């Protein structure tokens, strides 16, 4: 049993930056289920949105965010996050991030879909990687921070795990049970403050730009512990991922379109020609337009064409995309890039207040795992890294004002494997995982219907019940923990999508093709298997 002041679950931008901000207050342990840099942050190509250009304003950035979010954004949160945008960019630079600059020495500002101004600060097309490396260097040098790789959190510790009942009224988090993947042992971590920074849920879909670790762990753990989760029907599909064999995807940044790339079909006709913003329309619109075109034409993919731009300029601006495509036989300076939409970003998550506090005492959440209300029904490009750092900063300030010390924690029960067995049935786990991902892609994707969602709920519920029984009698492994989380996040997404009887942003259903502000201009909140809003 390990006691610590702070337990941070996840090693992306939210987890690492929170650890750095609270490390002067006490001991910090970071849990990450793969290697230290395996996170969605590391895959982020675009950048950080900030109203710092001479022709820009915070008010315009706010307007763009709310417009992209289809008026479901929480306006107070939008203002909080965007007001602090310039501060976040300066903070990254103080951490050692080397952002791209123009010939004049000033930060180079790109443009992405939904933005009315150039406001994307970036490090070529490897912004997330640059941030991750800078933060990891800081974390590894701090004497109060311990980072544990190849550990996956199984469940949060709450009153249910306390050996002697306490006087706590509301549900309280006391830490977590954590599986050491290498030795197969479950360890108990007691913590005064726990931060969920586990990222998103993209791996629940067959095609995703996310790493394989994005199995919704944090959302599901919080939900099982009794926390409120919200707006899980709003999964953002990135319009342009490189089409590869075997369901694998590689993100082709929206910045390529901001740089002048256009989406065309196999005849060369522009797919987004009829939209006022053309190829820089918000992501939900572009993804849905591509999906509609593919289903009507029978084509397997469309193309992102940037060949009319100067080849040297392309290589300089997008070195990672250029080299990656080249390994697949595509020279983007001469060849259009075959692309399809892919699951990219979860706009919902664990419900938090404006300081990252969840509905469970001493449990915070930040980054993609959290639902702050910023993104509404569709995230504006490059607002995610911005949100993560702003919310971490606010969570750290809340912790400084009030926190529980490890010495005040109750005695909890150790993990027990009694009655479980080691099953050599990898085929069951891999089969269920593929079934879930295919079901979600086919039935709960970019375009939905009542018929598809009912069918998805029936099949996902059956798999969920089977996994629950298998989990109950089987010794834990990384794959089993992920499967348990994957099927529950799939079920939560389906339930949320079935509840919303309108089309708004990322949730589009053929049975209710129009937006309905009179009945549905509100969030979808689930707690303890019930939709409470």
SS (H, E, C) 50-72: CCCCCCCCHHHHHHHHHHHCCCC
Asked whether residue 326 is assigned to any structural domain, the reply reads yes
Q: For residue 283, indicate whether it is catalytic.
A: yes
Q: Contact 366/392 with Cβ under 8 angstroms?
A: yes
Largest CA distance in the chain: 70
pLDDT bucket at 282, cuts 50 / 70 / 90: confident
pLDDT value for 166: 47
Asked whether residue 510 is assigned to any structural domain, the reply reads yes
Two tokens, residue 393: 């900063």
Asked whether residue 403 is assigned to any structural domain, the reply reads no
* Listed ranges 142-146, 204-208, 240-244; the one with the highest mean pLDDT: 142-146
Asked whether residue 509 is assigned to any structural domain, the reply reads yes
Give residue-wise pLDDT tens across range 353-365: 999 999 999 999 9
Range of lowest pLDDT (57-66, 345-354, 419-428, 475-484): 419-428
SS (H, E, C) 233-264: CCEEEEEEEEECHHHCEEECCCHHHHCCCEEE
CATH assignment at residue 518 = 1.20.58.100
Asked whether residue 211 is assigned to any structural domain, the reply reads no
Asked whether residue 485 is assigned to any structural domain, the reply reads yes
pLDDT at position 31 over 80: yes
Q: Contact 310/333 with Cβ under 8 angstroms?
A: no
Lay out the sheet containing 229-230: strands in order across: 370-371, 349-351, 229-230, 525-527, 530-531
**Domain interval for residue 312:** 240-341
Q: What is the mean pLDDT of residues 94-108?
A: 86
Nearest 10 degrees: Cα torsion 325, 330, 335, 336: -50
Find the catalytic residue in 111, 119, 257, 283.
Answer: 283
pLDDT at position 115 over 60: yes
Q: What is the DSSP annotation of 367-387? A: STTEE-SSSTTSPPTT-HHHH
Find all residues with CB under 8 Å of 250, minimum gap 6, and list them.
209, 241, 242, 244, 324
Give residue-wise pLDDT tens across range 74-92: 999 999 999 988 888 888 8
pLDDT at position 527 over 90: yes
pLDDT value for 443: 95
Number of structural domains the chain divides into: 2
Last residue of a domain, one of 316, 341, 366: 341
Q: Contact 51/85 with Cβ under 8 angstroms?
A: yes
CA separation for the pair 300, 298 (Å, rounded)? 7
pLDDT at position 529 over 90: no
Give residue-wise pLDDT tens across range 340-398: 999 999 999 999 999 999 999 999 999 999 999 999 999 998 899 899 989 999 999 99
CATH assignment at residue 256 = 3.90.700.10
Q: What is the mean pLDDT of residues 420-427?
A: 71
Asked whether residue 414 is assigned to any structural domain, the reply reads no
Last residue of a domain, one of 318, 341, 364: 341
pLDDT value for 168: 47
pLDDT at position 165 over 50: no
Q: What is the mean pLDDT of residues 152-169?
A: 73
Name the percent of the chain lying above pLDDT 70.
95
Averaged pLDDT of the chain? 90
Closest CA to 345 of 15, 11, 45, 30: 45
Asked whether residue 20 is assigned to any structural domain, the reply reads no
CA separation for the pair 99, 506 (Å, rounded)? 31
């Amino acid at each position: 049993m390990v006691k610590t002041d702070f337990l941070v679950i996840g090693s992306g931008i939210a987890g690492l930056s929170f650890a750095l901000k609270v490390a002067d207050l006490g001991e910090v342990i970071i849990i990450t289920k793969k290697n230290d840099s395996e996170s969605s942050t590391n895959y982020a190509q675009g950048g950080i949105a900030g109203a710092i250009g001479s022709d820009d304003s915070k008010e315009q950035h706010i307007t763009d965010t709310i417009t992209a979010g289809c008026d479901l954004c929480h306006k107070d949160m939008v203002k909080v996050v965007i007001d602090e945008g310039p501060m976040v960019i300066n903070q990254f630079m103080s951490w050692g991030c080397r952002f791209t600059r123009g010939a004049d020495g000033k930060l180079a500002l790109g443009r992405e879909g939904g933005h009315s101004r150039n406001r994307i600060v970036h490090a070529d097309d490897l912004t997330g990687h640059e941030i991750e490396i800078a933060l990891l260097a800081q974390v590894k040098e701090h004497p109060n921070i311990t980072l544990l790789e190849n550990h996956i959190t199984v469940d949060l510790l709450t009153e249910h795990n306390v050996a002697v009942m306490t006087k706590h009224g509301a549900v309280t988090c006391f830490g977590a049970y954590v599986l050491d993947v290498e030795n197969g042992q479950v360890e108990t971590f007691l913590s005064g403050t726990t931060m969920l920074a586990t990222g998103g849920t993209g791996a629940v879909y067959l095609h995703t730009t996310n790493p394989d670790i994005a199995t919704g762990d944090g959302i599901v753990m919080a939900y099982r512990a009794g926390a409120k989760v919200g707006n899980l029907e709003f999964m953002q599909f990135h319009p342009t991922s490189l089409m590869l064999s075997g369901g694998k995807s590689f993100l082709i940044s929206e910045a390529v379109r901001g740089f002048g790339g256009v989406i065309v079909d196999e005849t060369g006709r522009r797919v987004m020609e009829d939209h006022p913003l053309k190829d820089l329309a918000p992501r939900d619109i572009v993804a849905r337009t591509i999906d509609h075109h593919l289903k009507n034409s029978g084509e397997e993919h469309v193309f992102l064409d940037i060949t009319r731009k100067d080849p040297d300029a392309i290589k300089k601006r997008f070195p990672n995309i250029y080299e990656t495509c080249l390994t697949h036989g595509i020279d983007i300076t001469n060849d259009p890039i075959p692309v399809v939409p892919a699951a990219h970003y979860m706009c919902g998550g664990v419900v938090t207040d404006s300081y990252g506090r969840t509905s469970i005492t001493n449990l915070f959440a930040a980054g993609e795992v959290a639902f702050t209300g910023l993104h509404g029904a569709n995230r504006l490009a490059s607002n995610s890294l911005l949100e993560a750092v702003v919310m971490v900063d606010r969570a750290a300030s809340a912790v400084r004002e009030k926190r529980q010390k490890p010495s005040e924690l109750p005695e909890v029960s150790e993990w027990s494997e009694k009655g479980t067995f080691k099953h050599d049935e990898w085929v069951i786990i891999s089969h269920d995982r593929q079934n879930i991902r295919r079901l979600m892609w086919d039935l709960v994707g970019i375009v939905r219907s009542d018929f598809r969602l009912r069918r998805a709920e029936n099949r996902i519920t059956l798999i969920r019940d089977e996994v629950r029984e298998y989990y109950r009698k089987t010794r834990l492994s990384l794959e089993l923990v992920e499967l348990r989380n994957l099927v529950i996040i799939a079920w939560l997404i389906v339930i949320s999508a079935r509840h919303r009887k309108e089309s708004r942003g990322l949730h589009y259903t053929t049975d209710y093709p129009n937006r309905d502000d009179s009945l549905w201009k509100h969030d979808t909140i689930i707690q303890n298997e019930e939709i409470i809003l």
